[in-house]
Amino acid sequence: MGTVTVRVIPRAGRTAVEATPDGVVVRVREVPERGRATEAARRALADALGVPASRIVLRHGTRARTKTFLVEGLTDEEALVRLHAT
C-alpha cells in the first residue's frame, strides 16, 4: 500500500491533479466544508492514478490543506510515476 501526500486547493476554477517539483497539487471546485473538498480530492486522485476511488483512503489531514492518502494496490513509487505521467 502506497502513500501520496497532496496539497488541496479548494474553490478552484477546475478540478485537476498536477505533479510539480514541490509535490502533488489537487485543485477542486468544491468548498472546504463538511469534507466536500477532501472527497473531491480523493476522487480526482483516483482518476489521475487510474484506480477505483474505493482504493484510496484518507490517512492524515482531515481538516488541513496538506493531506496524506493511502493507495491500495500501488507502491509509493508507482503512484508518483503515474501522477507525473498525467
pLDDT at 82 (0 to 100): 92
Q: How far is it, in rounded angstroms, from Cα 34 to Cα 62?
A: 10
> Beta-carbon neighbour count of residue 38 at 10 Å?
23
In the three-class reduction of DSSP (H, G, I as helix; E, B as strand; rest coil), residue 85 is classed as helix
Q: pLDDT tens digit string along 26-63? A: 999 999 999 999 999 999 999 999 999 999 999 999 99
pLDDT at 86 over 90: no
56 vs 9, 13, 21, 50, 86, CA distance in Å? 18, 24, 23, 11, 18
In the chain, where are the structural domains located?
2-85
Looking at CATH, the fold of the domain delimited by 2-85 is given as: Conserved Hypothetical Protein Mth637; Chain: A; (3.30.1200)
Confidence of residue 4 (pLDDT cuts 50, 70, 90): very high
The closest alpha carbon to 23, from 68, 53, 64, belongs to: 68
What grid cell was written down for 14? 477546475
Mean pLDDT for 9-35 is 95
